[in-house]
Amino acid sequence: MSMHMDPAVRNALRNAFVLYVAWVVATYLLEGLPGTLIRPEAVGLRLAYAVVANLLIGIFLALWLIRHALRAGVGTVADYGFSGPVRTAISVITGALAGYALFHMAQREPVHPLVVVNSFAQVWVVSVAEIVVCWALVGGTLHAALRPWSRWGAILVAATVASVLFGVYHYAHSAPFNEFRVVAFLTGIGFVTGLWWFVSRDVYGTSVFHNFFGVTGVLAALQAGGLVPERPELAVPLVITALIATLALAWPGISWIRRRYSVPG
């Protein structure tokens, strides 16, 4: 069965994939190429990577493209993970509980709560960008584009593409994330996140759920290097960065998307 694609849908898909490529390139130039995450002294590069690749491209610009797609009539707010506040509250709570449960089961020994908080804050800005780009923008646009063809087919294709793109994106990172076995493993993680995404339909709760996978990875790296502090302190700069990332997701999500394109009820 042939399917005619509306020009607005075609443009939205093109914009989504172009932004994905720009996000990957920015990640490679600011993190993968200079090995930023394995160089503790590279404070400036870490800041540039967080701000340019994730806050500006991965969150702000991606949300702006979602707004542009909605303005052109492509999809609904639910397609892009922006439903009502009740759904968001439920998704965030359940995402936090389920994510922490999976994280806790992966630990062989107790972890200090401040270590968990610091690790959560450290990877939060990246996790939010991953969810917004791979699932909200690319996955949401694909789902909206393919839904007239097949409801379940649209979900399957969108979930598969988003998960594979999430895995491939890690080739732009420094070692060991750019190794094939790690990319393959993270693609599998992407399918788990994708399942949560298409069940919850909420970008906020999915980000919380997905971030605990990042916390597990960060803590494993710290433990392997013997870098877990015995008397941890709250990493205030990391917490501030995480709060900025949360604001970068919440403010456009509310003012650009929910208030303008949500339907009553």
**Which pLDDT score is estimated for 80?**
96
**Which pLDDT score is estimated for 1?**
40
The pLDDT-based confidence of 73 (bands split at 50, 70, 90) is: very high
pLDDT, average across residues 190-202: 95
pLDDT, average across residues 232-255: 92
Q: Is the confidence at residue 108, as pLDDT, over 60?
A: yes
The string of DSSP letters for the chain reads ---PPPHHHHHHHHHHHHHHHHHHHHHIIIIITTTGGG-TT-HHHHHHIIIIIIIIIIIIIHHHHHHHHHHTT-S-TTTTT---HHHHHHHHHHHHHHHHHHHHHT-SS---HHHHHHHHHHHHHHHHHHIIIIIIIIIHHHHHHHTTT-HHHHHHHHHHHHHHHHHHHGGGSPTTTTSHHHHHHHHHHHHHHHHHHHHH--HHHHHHHHHHHHHHHHHHHHHHTT---SS----HHHHHHHHHHHHHHHHHIIIIIIHHHPPP-
pLDDT, average across residues 80-87: 90
pTM: 0.94
Which sequence spans correspond to the domains of the chain? Answer: 7-261
Tell me what the pLDDT averaged over the chain comes to.
Answer: 91
